[in-house]
Structure 1
Amino acid sequence: MIWGCFSYYGVGPIYRIPGIMDPFEYIRILEEVMLPYAEEEMPLKWVFQQDNDPKHTTKCATSWFQTNKIAVMEWPAQSPDLNPIENLWSIAKRKMRDMRPNNAEELKAAIEASWSSITPQQCHRLIASMPRRIEAVIAAKGAQTKY
């Protein structure tokens, strides 16, 4: 399992999750991977977007965001997953189509290479698409959209 992040400025780090992701592992990733990236690459005001996965919305995760003064985008329960990182994972997977890793290390290298080849322009377009995504969900009354 891989965790990754991005911003308007480009892709951030990706991190291989050893074992099962639980709320404590999620907070550790936020603390050790996401926060250093955000502090270095996004020094201005920013908002964190995540889906409603139960481990993301636990009391301990919510408390961590509050303690670290990180604004989290409000996302209604039972809403479509419009998080644009899903599109980035699809882009990364497409870039890996012709790669044939033979072991875990080669797979890790292939994932890292495809992730790092995503351009800042692709990230710009995904961020810029958010108003259209939200309008499409509203027009579809919460039903599935092309996003």
Structure 2
Amino acid sequence: MASNTKAQAQSILHLWNIGIRAAAEIRRRTNIPRSTIYYNLAKLRKTGSTAHKKRSGRPKKITSENSISVGQYIRRNPAASSRKLASKLSLRGVNVSYSTVLRHLASLGYDKKCPLATPMLTRLYKEKRIEWAQRHLNDDWNRTVFTDETSFWLFSNTVQYWYRGQRPVRRIPKDRTRVNAWGGFCVRGKTSLYCFRENMTGPIYVEIIRDHLSEIRRMLRNNWRLQQDNDPKHTSRVAKEFLQENVPTVMDWPSNSPDLNPIKNLWAVLKRNVEMRQPKNIGELESFMKEEWTKIPQDIIRNLVGSMKERSILTMSNLCWSELR
């Protein structure tokens, strides 16, 4: 019961921090009992926090009045550093360290992270995405081959490690080498991974598709369609001519929509697995890429294909909710 009450208080605090403070709206969004909402809103207005008042111990350096001021400043300046906030508090006669400010912000429910990166979409792009999602909502995704290219860098440094004490150091060369890769998958499996080091061109793209047609046909026979993004190499004259003659259907795809392509999730899995093996040279990098590609479980493939309807629904609901802003 206590944990449920705490979770409800945290939900109310989160909505309060993003500017939603009407009890009716909080009730509509969370279905929390009205008495709990009114109780926590009263505490927030009085103390700036939903935490229970402690009966004993050293008094807090940051009073409820200053806490409210901190919250107001954070909402106006969300990128402010804890040192800046400590400096602002000192002007009010409150001398605290920046670490104290960090702890206080955490008690208020704040967490500092980079904003989630999303595609830069104009109103027209948003409209096109909604139209695309509506048109393909009930598609048979089991006959779609999802494709894409990506790059793998030698000495990548993106895997997080647990450590105690001093943060570990990894030496990274100034000039790193990369290997490009093309891959595809469908509900029945994956194509082989094609690795290359030159820049992609229309003719190179045609050769890649040509070399993998037999693999795709073995998996889906002739009842399949190709998914590709709108990269200029994919839509070049030489590529269009080849695809018209050799591919049953080329699927339309909305511009600036990498988030809709499930192969992006597959790349993330592959890159992590390759980096965990810490390749020491370009030969090992390419070898590990191909080995780890073949090891990706079929369950992951099926789940990604099965996610397409949900991706379409989320695309429509998110963009409609934002009223095409």
TM-score interval w.r.t. the shorter chain?
A: 0.7 to 0.9
Contact residue 51 and residue 75 of structure 1 kept, 8 A: yes
- Corresponding residue number in structure 2 for 1:42: 220
Secondary structure at the residue paired with 2:182?
Answer: strand
Could you report, residue by residue, the CA deviation over 1:5-36 in whole angstroms, capped at 9, with x for unpaired residues? 1111122111112311001100010111x212
RMSD: 1.8
TM-score w.r.t. length of structure 1: 0.88
Give the fraction of aligned pairs with identical amino acids, expressed as a percent.
34
| Runs of 4+ residues deviating >4 angstroms | none
2:274 corresponds, among 90, 96, 109, to 96
| Alpha-carbon separation, structure 2, partners of 1:120 and 1:43 | 19
Contact residue 224 and residue 249 of structure 2 kept, 8 A: yes
2:197 corresponds, among 15, 18, 30, to 18
| Alpha-carbon separation, structure 2, partners of 1:95 and 1:142 | 37
Could you report, residue by residue, the CA deviation over 1:99-127 in whole angstroms, capped at 9, with x for unpaired residues? 11111111111111211111111111000
Contact residue 11 and residue 118 of structure 1 kept, 8 A: no
1:131 corresponds, among 309, 315, 320, to 309
TM-score w.r.t. length of structure 2: 0.41
Q: Is residue 8 of structure 1 aligned with residue 149 of structure 2?
A: no
Higher relative contact order (CA 8 A, sep 6+): 1
Gaps of 5+ in 2: 1-179
Pairwise CA distance, 1:40: 2.0
The number of aligned residues is 142
Pairwise CA distance, 1:142: 8.1
Pairwise CA distance, 1:59: 2.3
Bigger radius of gyration among the two: 2
- Corresponding residue number in structure 2 for 1:68: 246
Gaps of 5+ in 1: none
Closer/same/farther in 2, CA of residues 82 and 107 from structure 1, 3 Å limit: same
Contact residue 8 and residue 123 of structure 1 kept, 8 A: yes
| Alpha-carbon separation, structure 2, partners of 1:134 and 1:57 | 24
Could you report, residue by residue, the CA deviation over 1:41-94 in whole angstroms, capped at 9, with x for unpaired residues? 221511111111111112221221111142111112344541111111111112
Closer/same/farther in 2, CA of residues 69 and 3 from structure 1, 3 Å limit: closer
Contact residue 226 and residue 247 of structure 2 kept, 8 A: no
Q: Is residue 77 of structure 1 aligned with residue 255 of structure 2?
A: yes
| Alpha-carbon separation, structure 1, partners of 2:186 and 2:295 | 15
| Alpha-carbon separation, structure 2, partners of 1:9 and 1:23 | 28
Closer/same/farther in 2, CA of residues 44 and 120 from structure 1, 3 Å limit: farther
